[in-house]
């Protein structure tokens, strides 16, 4: 079975500073990896995904993530955050065979401070 660990439950950061949200996964088979963002009282929105190919994945809103197979990590980064990036961020994994559901981490609350 797959599992996802998001190492930080809360990350406060000043506006225009860089940020990294950490995600590690566990799986005995190859996986697809995802980052979703959830704004208050809204559903989840896909930020980016890694399926195959280049290990550096670029997503929406200036976010990027790097897949590291040896470290079993998929950390999310942004070089300069804005107040509007304040939200809950979820890392998720699915087995890369067939139509399998997502297994989510517990989430990281990013708070951008003016």
**Which is closer to other proteins, CB of 7 or CB of 44?**
44
Sign of the alpha-carbon dihedral angle for 8, 92, 4, 69:
negative
* Contact code string over 63-102 relative to other proteins, x by CB under 8 A: ---------------------------x-x-x-x-xxxxx
| Strand extents, DSSP E, 1-114 | 3-5, 10-14, 19-21, 24-26, 31-38, 44-50, 56-58, 64-68, 73-78, 87-95, 103-104, 108-113
CB of 110 to other proteins, least distance (A): 15
**CB of 43 or CB of 53, closer to other proteins:** 43
Q: Tokens for 60, please give them.
A: 């929406």
Query: Of residues 6-65, which lie at the interface with other proteins (CB under 8 A)?
Result: 32, 36, 41-46, 49, 51
| Contact residue for other proteins among 19, 78, 105, 110 (CB under 8 A) | 105
List interacting residues with other proteins (CB under 8 A): 4, 32, 36, 41-46, 49, 51, 90, 92, 94, 96, 98-107
């Amino acid at each position: 079975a797959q599992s996802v660990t998001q190492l930080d439950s809360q990350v406060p950061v000043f506006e225009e500073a860089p940020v990294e949200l950490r995600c590690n996964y566990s799986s005995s088979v190859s996986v697809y990896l995802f980052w979703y963002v959830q704004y208050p009282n809204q559903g989840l929105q896909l930020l980016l995904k890694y399926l195959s190919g280049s290990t550096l994945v670029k997503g929406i809103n200036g976010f990027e993530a790097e897949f590291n197979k040896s470290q079993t990590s998929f950390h999310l980064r942004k070089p300069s955050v804005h107040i509007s990036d304040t939200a809950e961020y979820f890392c998720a994994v699915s087995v890369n065979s067939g139509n399998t559901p997502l297994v989510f981490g517990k989430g990281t609350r990013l708070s951008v401070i003016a």
